[in-house]
Amino acid sequence: MSVNEFVNKFQFKELLKSDPQTKSIVLLGTIDSQDAIISLEKSHFLFDSDHETDLNKLVKDSVIINHNDVYYWSNVLLEQTLNEFPTAKLNLIYPATATHIKKYCTQQVHYIIETPDMYKKYVIPYIETMKGDRIKWVYNILFEGKESETFIHHDKHPQLGFVLLPDMKWDTLNLQSLYLCCIVNRKDISSIRDLNGSHLDFLKQLKSTILQLVEQKYPLSQDQVRIFIHYQPSYYHFHLHIVNVAHPGLGDGIAVGKAILLDDVIENISIKDDYYQVRNIGYLLGENHGLWQIEGYRNSI
């Protein structure tokens, strides 16, 4: 079934989130009586020296809001085309689970200082519940060839290999908002807490290869690329986020308390092998997150 067919069958239930910074909304509804989530994000303008666009053709109509001296502001209706100037990017999750719905709902957020003891007692058991079928889609990418038509790189080596592909957050059109994801083949790293000195060479080679691949594929130099890791991650199979340093709309995805630069990780475990096993880690956690639902975890904060 095509995305258009899914959208035509979508029955709206409620607005989960509206973000004026990223110009996006997340809607909850049903398709054939099963929960579905649709997120819509307005596209960035593809208007540069490579697109000789006539502004008169781009702006179809306008209504003045106000003006003062040399300043004018108005609402405009733009001429949109699906391939060159799309209106928005749509993501669909169907069927959506309760975990998906909680993830996208507006929620209260708390700053957590996670101790090594909290990690061992509460986070490790939680991570184990998030494996198996919950990350089957990851294994579909790595081992079953799902989404292979979008792969930028796929090294099948069981320990050193990885897939590099566009993240679903990127429209694949606007280079300024470039967002790629690197998912490693090895299954023994669930999160940053598992990294130690034995992974140093692996991480250095991973960084070097990713930067070379991005530089070969896109008109970006290596110092225009940022590589980072999330903690807590959205899924517990080691992966990295690769973005244009000029990306204008990452929201909390690049915020302190979420993103940790790969260079910092490499530096930290170079200094102390077990750095991420012995230190406290601070991060932001929403009340809809599964960890927050664990009473002992909350009481440990």
Catalytic residues, which ones? 239
DSSP per position, 115-176: -HHHIIIIIHHHHHHTSGGGGHHHHHHHHS-TTGGG-SEE---TTT-EEEEE-TT--SS-GG
Compute the chain's Rg from CA coordinates. Answer: 21
Strands (E), 149-254: 153-154, 162-166, 179-184, 225-230, 239-244
For tokens 């992966």, the residue is: 239
DSSP designation for 37:
E
Report helix, strand or coil for 213: helix
Q: What is the DSSP letter of 224?
A: G
Q: What are phi and psi of 164, to 5 degrees?
A: -115, 125
Cα-based distances in Å from 301 to 18, 20, 291: 29, 31, 12
